[in-house]
Amino acid sequence: MAKLVSLSDSDLSASSEESVSSRIHRSLRLAEQEKRKNEAEKPFVLALKYFSEVEVGTPVVGNDEFENHLAQVEKVAFSKGLSPEAVSVMLEFAMSLRMGSSPCARVLKCLIPDSVVPQEAVFRAVVWLSVGKIPISTQVLFIKWVLTVFDMIDAKDKLRAIYGFIFSFITDENLVCDSNAFKLLGKAGRQPYLLHLLSLYKVFCPELVTLSIPSRMRSGFKNHISPWKSALMALQKRGSLQVASSISLNFTLKNKTGSRKRRHRHLELPELSRVTNTGVNTEQTSSRKLVPLVQIQSFEQLLKNMHQIELPAQMGSLLGSRLALQYLDCVQDESALLRLNFWLGYALHEEFLFCTDGGAGQNAEEALQFLNKLLSAQQFLQEGFHSSDAFLYKFLNIWDGSLLRPQILGLLSNIPVIPSSRECQNEKLSCGLIECLNNMLLKWLTWHSVYALEDDLDISLHSHTSINITLSGFKDSVMDLVCFVGRLASVGLQLEGCHSLLLSFVLDFYETVCDTFLKFGLPLVVMPPPGVFYPAMFATDPVSLDRLAYIMNRYKMNLTSAKSQEKVTSHAFHISRQTYQEFNNYLAFMVNCLWNSSMRCPETDIQLSEELLAKSGVPQPWMRFDLIHHPAFMMYAVEFHQKCWPGRKDMDLNSIKQAKPWSWYLEFLFTQGFGGLKDFFQNNISRPGQELDSAQSKKQPLVS
Site residues, other proteins (CB under 8 A): 202, 206-207, 212-213, 215, 352-361, 389-390, 393-394, 397-403, 418-419, 421-423, 425, 427-429, 461, 467, 469, 487-488, 491, 494-495, 497
- Do 153 and 122 touch, CB atoms closer than 8 A? yes
The H or E element that residue 12 is part of is: helix 2-37
38 strand-pairing partners:
none
- Do 48 and 27 touch, CB atoms closer than 8 A? yes
Closest CB to other proteins among residues 533, 580: 533
- Residues 6+ positions from 79 with CB-CB distance below 8 Å: 238, 240
- Percent helix, strand, coil in the chain (nearest 5)? 65, 0, 35
3-state secondary structure of 278: coil
Closest CB to other proteins among residues 498, 525: 498
- In the complex, the smallest distance separating the C-beta of residue 364 from other proteins, rounded to whole angstroms, is 9
- In the complex, the smallest distance separating the C-beta of residue 495 from other proteins, rounded to whole angstroms, is 6
468 strand-pairing partners:
460
- In the complex, the smallest distance separating the C-beta of residue 205 from other proteins, rounded to whole angstroms, is 9
- Do 699 and 587 touch, CB atoms closer than 8 A? yes
Cα 208 from Cα 205, distance rounded (Å): 6
Closest CB to other proteins among residues 25, 487: 487
- Residues 6+ positions from 19 with CB-CB distance below 8 Å: 120
Residue 539's CB is within 10 A of a number of other CB atoms, namely 23
- In the complex, the smallest distance separating the C-beta of residue 272 from other proteins, rounded to whole angstroms, is 31
- In the complex, the smallest distance separating the C-beta of residue 416 from other proteins, rounded to whole angstroms, is 9
Cα 93 from Cα 104, distance rounded (Å): 8
Closest CB to other proteins among residues 225, 488: 488
- In the complex, the smallest distance separating the C-beta of residue 345 from other proteins, rounded to whole angstroms, is 13
- In the complex, the smallest distance separating the C-beta of residue 187 from other proteins, rounded to whole angstroms, is 19
DSSP 362: T
Closest CB to other proteins among residues 381, 403: 403
If phi > 0 it is left, if psi is from -120 to 50 it is alpha, else beta; for residue 134 that is beta
Strand intervals (E) in 340-467: 458-460
- Do 564 and 693 touch, CB atoms closer than 8 A? no
Closest CB to other proteins among residues 419, 432: 419
- Give the residue from 70, 53, 150 showing the smallest Cα distance to 105: 70
- In the complex, the smallest distance separating the C-beta of residue 594 from other proteins, rounded to whole angstroms, is 24
Closest CB to other proteins among residues 279, 358: 358
Q: How many CA atoms lie within 13 A of 496 on its CB side?
A: 21
Closest CB to other proteins among residues 497, 619: 497
Query: What is the Cα 659 distance to its own chain's centre?
Result: 60
- Do 198 and 178 touch, CB atoms closer than 8 A? yes
In this structure, what are the phi and psi dihedrals at residue 67, rounded to the nearest 5 degrees? -60, -45
- In the complex, the smallest distance separating the C-beta of residue 436 from other proteins, rounded to whole angstroms, is 17
Closest CB to other proteins among residues 358, 689: 358
- Do 89 and 72 touch, CB atoms closer than 8 A? no
- In the complex, the smallest distance separating the C-beta of residue 444 from other proteins, rounded to whole angstroms, is 14
Closest CB to other proteins among residues 269, 469: 469
Closest CB to other proteins among residues 330, 495: 495
- In the complex, the smallest distance separating the C-beta of residue 252 from other proteins, rounded to whole angstroms, is 13
- In the complex, the smallest distance separating the C-beta of residue 509 from other proteins, rounded to whole angstroms, is 16
Closest CB to other proteins among residues 500, 581: 500
Closest CB to other proteins among residues 140, 459: 459
The H or E element that residue 379 is part of is: helix 364-381
- In the complex, the smallest distance separating the C-beta of residue 569 from other proteins, rounded to whole angstroms, is 30
Nearest-Å Rg of the Cα atoms of the chain is: 36
DSSP-derived pairing of the beta strands 468-470 and 458-460: antiparallel
Following DSSP, what letter does each residue of 319-332 receive, concatenated? GG-HHHHHHHHHH-
Residue 50's CB is within 10 A of a number of other CB atoms, namely 19
- Give the residue from 529, 509, 684 showing the smallest Cα distance to 593: 684
Closest CB to other proteins among residues 43, 530: 530
- In the complex, the smallest distance separating the C-beta of residue 428 from other proteins, rounded to whole angstroms, is 6
- Do 388 and 286 touch, CB atoms closer than 8 A? no
- In the complex, the smallest distance separating the C-beta of residue 468 from other proteins, rounded to whole angstroms, is 9
- Residues 6+ positions from 116 with CB-CB distance below 8 Å: 84, 152, 153, 154, 243, 276, 278, 281
Task: Report which residue type is found at 700.
Answer: Q
Residue 404's CB is within 10 A of a number of other CB atoms, namely 20
- Do 504 and 436 touch, CB atoms closer than 8 A? no
